[in-house]
C-alpha cells in the first residue's frame, strides 16, 4: 500500500482471509472486550485459521506475558500459542538490546511482561536506580503500580540513563470504563525530568518490525478498532488495514479521519474477514455503495437510499475523505450518521 491520500474504502473481490496471508489482530475492542469474547470473533477466526490464514495477536499492553494472553484467548474459545502473541514489551526489549551490551541491567517500571521480554533478549531486569542500570524501560504496570516506581525512573534518567517506553497510549479500557494507560504514566516521568523516551509500540515502526520478524508475514492485514494506533500503525508500515466497529472508533471519528487514520477496509466486526468488500464507486456528485449514495454539500454530508448500514458508512467515508483531501473533514455528518444509527 502506498502512502497516497486515501479518498474511499477499497473493495476486494476475494474474501480478505484469502487475499492476505496473515491477520495482525489487535485484542481489546477487536477480539475481546472487558475480558469476554466479542460476538462472532471466535467463530470468524476459526474459519480464517482453518482456511490457512495465519493469526497473530498484536497488543500495546506490556503488562501480560504472551503465555498469559495465549491462555486467556484459548479460554475464550480461540486456541492460541504464546508464539502467536506479539506485545509492545517484546518490541521495546528488542529496541533496547540493539543499543546496550548483552547482559546489561535495565530498570523496569512496569509488570511481568516487560521482565520476561527483557530476559528473552539477554538483559537483566532490576528495580532500583541504584542497581546501576544502563537503561530505563516503562510499560503499563496495572492499577497497583506504586508511585515510588516513577521516582526510581526519574532518579536514573537524571543521571543520564536512556529512557524507553513500551507505548504511549493515554488510556486503557477496563471492565469499569476507561482508565489511565501507560502514556499517562509516561507523562508523569516526562514532566518531572523534561526527558523524552524512545517509544516502541503502535503506531510506531518498532512494533510493526517486531510483528513482521516474529510472524514472517508477506501479505499482512492489520485489524483494529483504533485509528490512532492500529490504523496509523498500518499506514506507517505501508500495509493494508481493516477497521472493525466493535471498539472505540465511532462513525463521526471515522468520517473525520486524516489520511494516516483512514483504513483500507471498514466492516462491522470480524465476520468481515471472511467476505469480499464491496466497491465504493463515484456516482454523479457523490459516491455509491450498496443501496446508498453519499454526497458532500456546502455544510454537511447527505445520505440517500437504503440497505446495509455498513455500506452507507462506506459511502459516507468516500464523500467525507474526498471533501477533506489531505486534511480533516469539517462537514456536519451527524444527520447522516443518525440515519444509519452509528
What is each CA distance from 19 to 65, 89, 157, 240, 275, in whole angstroms? 31, 30, 47, 11, 10
Residues annotated as part of the active site = 26, 28
Please report which confidence band the pLDDT of residue 35 belongs to, taking 50, 70 and 90 as the band edges: confident
3-state secondary structure of 94: helix
256 has a pLDDT exceeding 90: yes
Sequence-distant (≥ 6) Cβ neighbours of residue 270 within 8 angstroms: 30, 31, 38, 40, 41, 44, 45, 223, 244, 246
Question: Residue 175 and residue 284: Cα distance in Å, rounded?
Answer: 46
Kindly report the average pLDDT of the chain as a whole number. 96
pLDDT at res. 3: 61
Question: Residue 63 and residue 99: Cα distance in Å, rounded?
Answer: 23
293 has a pLDDT exceeding 50: yes
The rounded percent of the chain whose pLDDT value lies above 70 is: 99
When pLDDT is averaged across residues 143-159 and rounded to a whole number, the result is: 96
Taking residue 300's Cβ as centre, other Cβ atoms within 10 Å add up to 14
Please report which confidence band the pLDDT of residue 2 belongs to, taking 50, 70 and 90 as the band edges: very low
For the chain, how long is the longest CA-to-CA vector?
69
Q: What is the pLDDT of residues 185-225, one digit of tens each?
A: 999 999 999 999 999 999 999 999 999 999 999 999 999 99
174 has a pLDDT exceeding 80: no
246 has a pLDDT exceeding 70: yes
Q: What is the pLDDT of residues 52-95, one digit of tens each?
A: 999 999 999 999 999 999 999 999 999 999 999 999 999 999 99
H or E segment and range at residue 242: strand 240-244
β-partners of residue 97 are none
Question: Residue 335 and residue 342: Cα distance in Å, rounded?
Answer: 10
pLDDT at res. 232: 97
Check if the beta carbon of residue 95 is closer than 8 Å to that of residue 200: yes
Cis peptide before 47 (omega within 30 of 0): no
* C-alpha torsion 236→238→243→248, nearest 10: -10
Does the pTM surpass 0.85? The reply is: yes
When pLDDT is averaged across residues 276-296 and rounded to a whole number, the result is: 97
pLDDT at res. 1: 40
Amino acid at each position: 500500500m502506498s502512502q497516497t491520500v486515501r479518498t474511499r474504502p477499497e473493495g476486494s473481490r476475494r474474501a480478505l482471509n484469502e487475499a492476505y496471508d496473515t491477520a495482525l489482530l489487535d485484542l481489546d475492542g477487536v477480539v475481546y472486550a472487558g475480558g469476554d469474547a466479542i460476538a462472532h470473533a471466535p467463530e470468524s477466526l476459526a474459519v480464517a485459521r482453518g482456511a490457512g490464514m495465519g493469526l497473530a495477536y498484536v497488543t500495546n499492553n506490556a503488562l501480560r506475558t504472551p503465555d498469559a494472553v495465549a491462555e486467556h484467548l484459548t479460554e475464550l474459545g480461540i486456541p492460541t500459542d504464546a508464539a502467536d502473541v506479539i506485545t509492545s514489551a517484546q518490541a521495546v526489549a528488542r529496541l533496547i538490546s540493539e543499543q546496550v551490551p548483552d547482559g546489561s541491567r535495565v530498570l523496569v517500571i512496569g509488570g511481568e511482561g516487560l521482565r520476561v521480554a527483557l530476559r528473552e533478549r539477554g538483559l537483566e531486569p532490576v528495580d532500583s536506580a541504584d542497581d546501576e542500570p544502563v537503561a530505563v524501560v516503562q510499560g503499563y504496570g496495572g492499577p497497583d503500580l506504586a508511585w515510588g516506581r516513577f521516582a526510581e525512573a526519574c532518579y536514573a534518567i537524571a543521571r543520564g540513563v536512556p529512557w524507553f517506553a513500551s507505548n504511549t497510549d493515554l488510556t486503557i479500557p477496563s471492565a469499569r470504563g476507561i482508565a489511565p494507560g501507560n502514556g499517562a504514566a509516561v507523562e508523569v516521568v516526562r514532566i518531572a525530568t523534561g526527558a523524552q523516551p524512545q517509544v516502541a509500540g503502535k503506531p510506531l515502526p518498532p512494533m510493526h518490525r517486531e510483528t513482521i520478524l516474529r510472524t514472517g508475514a508477506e501479505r499482512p492485514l492489520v485489524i483494529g478498532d483504533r485509528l490512532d494506533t492500529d490504523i496509523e500503525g498500518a499506514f506507517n508500515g505501508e500495509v493494508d488495514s481493516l477497521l472493525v466497529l466493535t471498539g472505540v472508533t465511532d462513525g463521526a471519528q471515522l468520517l473525520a479521519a486524516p489520511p494516516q487514520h483512514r483504513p483500507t477496509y471498514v466492516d462491522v466486526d470480524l465476520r468481515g474477514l471472511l467476505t469480499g468488500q464491496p466497491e465504493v464507486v463515484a456516482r454523479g456528485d457523490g459516491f455509491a455503495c450498496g443501496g446508498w449514495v453519499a454526497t458532500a454539500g456546502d455544510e454537511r454530508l447527505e445520505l440517500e437510499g437504503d440497505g446495509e448500514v455498513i455500506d452507507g458508512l462506506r459511502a459516507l467515508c468516500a464523500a467525507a475523505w474526498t471533501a477533506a483531501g489531505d486534511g480533516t473533514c469539517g462537514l456536519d455528518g451527524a444527520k447522516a450518521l443518525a440515519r444509519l444509527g452509528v
